[in-house]
Amino acid sequence: MPLRTLAVVAVGLLATASPARADFMVDVISVVPSSGGFLWNYSASILASDRLSPLGSVPAPGFNPEDNTRSIKDYLTIYDFSGFTGRVVLPNPTQWSFVSYSLGSTPADVIPEDSPAFPNITIYRIPEAPPNCCGIIGPASFSFSIESRFGTRGIIGSFTGENTQNAPGQPNDGLGVSSVGDVESPFQVAQVPEPGTFLLVGAGLLGLGIWRRQAT
Ligand SMILES: [Ca+2]
């Protein structure tokens, strides 16, 4: 067997052995001015081999166990979204909801960059009526928006996702799939101090200077 073929086979084995696959794809479509700052408009999609299950509990902060029993609703998290105003525009409020944690929600088998100093936004599936209906079957795409006080483009942050494998009648049907990847966002953008803060610091230093001069 040629060496190149061996290498491809090895990579293929590694890819199937890992529970983390890039089954979620997320991209920024536009960033537009809004009442609270800027709306970051995203598009996300899942593969034909997946579905998004509304079953189980709301994703928790930190790491969630790998979910092969549908005990946790499927979700998508965007990390360290600076200047988050609390406003999220969901693709369909009868199918989705959101939570914001400082750490997580993160599938247990992936490690995104996640600082406790910046909020994450997790959007997750909820059941439409009738109860426990219905998974969104891939291939499927949906859009959502998150508002920030910051609108500077070009900064790359992390996202993760938790899907369900969709293979009716097959042994892998219903198993969890974790994704991790990069996406543009106001990722870890530091707060710029207000001009008033500079004035206060300046006045404090001036006061220190006067006091020291009197002391000598
Ligand atoms: Ca965070």
pLDDT of 46 above 60: yes
Instruction: Indicate the number of domains in the chain.
Output: 1
Question: Token digits for 181?
Answer: 């990847």
pLDDT of amino acid 167: 93
Nearest CA among 132, 161, 129 for reference residue 50: 161
Q: Is residue 156 part of a domain?
A: yes
Q: How far apart are CA 3 and CA 75, in angstroms?
A: 40
Q: How far apart are CA 110 and CA 104, in angstroms?
A: 11
Q: What's the 102 CA to ligand 1 centre distance in angstroms?
A: 4
Report, as an integer, the average pLDDT of 63-67. 84
Residues 149-161: tens digit of each pLDDT:
999 999 999 999 9
Looking at the DSSP bridge assignments, the partners of residue 42 are 28, 144
Q: Is residue 105 part of a domain?
A: yes
| Beta pairing class for 37-46 and 121-125 | unpaired
Residues 163-201: tens digit of each pLDDT:
999 999 999 999 999 999 999 999 999 877 666 655 555
pLDDT of amino acid 128: 87
Q: What's the 200 CA to ligand 1 centre distance in angstroms?
A: 30
Query: What is the residue range of 165's domain?
Result: 14-215
On whether the CB atoms of residues 121 and 147 are closer than 8 A, the answer is no
pLDDT of amino acid 198: 56
Q: What's the 62 CA to ligand 1 centre distance in angstroms?
A: 10
Q: What's the 188 CA to ligand 1 centre distance in angstroms?
A: 8
Question: pTM to 2 decimals?
Answer: 0.80
Q: Is residue 2 part of a domain?
A: no
Report, as an integer, the average pLDDT of 19-38. 89
pLDDT of 28 above 80: yes
Q: What's the 148 CA to ligand 1 centre distance in angstroms?
A: 15
* Alpha-carbon separation of residue 65 from 37, 59, 71, 72 (angstroms): 35, 10, 9, 9
pLDDT of 94 above 50: yes
Question: Token digits for 61?
Answer: 């902060």
Q: What value does the mean pLDDT of the chain take? A: 85
Q: What's the 119 CA to ligand 1 centre distance in angstroms?
A: 5
